[in-house]
Structure 1
Amino acid sequence: MRRSVVGDEYVNRALENGSTEFSRAGQELVTEWCWGYAWTRPGLSKQQRSLINIGMLMALNRAPELAVHVRGARNNGLSELEIREAIIHATTYCGVPAGVDAMKTAEKVLNDMAEKGEMPRELGNKSGKT
């Protein structure tokens, strides 16, 4: 599940970072509990779980993890519009600074994915509005 959502590159890097005797237990926890238990439970789709994570990570001000889950949301089939609207909706509860940071993080990820040929931009055109 973890690889299908966040990709091989991210998982390989995380496992390498958690390869010492000290840190291995943390990676095992993440892999088994988050990805093996929470992400595979019935009742919510991968898309719904991605939207929940975007809002929670925004609220917690966890930009690096938010970036991972924006990429995961696209991998799970969510559109840029759905991701943008999740951020806007969460902004009303998390505050404007959290929303601005989340928009910047998401835009960076979406641009990176487009530049790498992973997924084309859907909402990347300049609007001309200020």
Structure 2
Amino acid sequence: MEIIPNPKEVDGVKVLQLETGAGAAIRFFEHAIGINVPRSRFLAVKATSDLLLVQVGNFLARFNSIPSIVELDRLKVSGDVWFGAAIVLKDKTSITAKPGVKLEIPDGAVLENKEINDPEDF
């Protein structure tokens, strides 16, 4: 495949990004056709955070705000868990929603060395 040069500037440094055009490979297949797909149909993955959004489409919707994790040593989250605003996570915290249960951590919750399995555990 051909290499496509893409000059750009990253953090004030001029770089030359080399890309391969997947469309250029079409010439190697007999009877191949191309289809024009609008950009709105896909999300470009250029960073790990982009990949996370592709893999977990509703990930960000589960957070009213990003929890404070400055004093967090270990975190385990599983199941249908939703985070309110101004949450603080400390030390070793485990949050597990039972199957079929939506577990909502309330605004302002401080979870330190906690194991949360039910709403009553707050």
Q: Write 1 or 2 for the structure with the bigger share of strand.
A: 2
Which structure is higher in helix share? 1
- TMscore range, shorter length: under 0.3
TM-score (norm 1): 0.20
TM-score by length of 2: 0.21
Higher relative contact order, structure no. (Cα contacts within 8 Å, ≥ 6 residues apart): 1
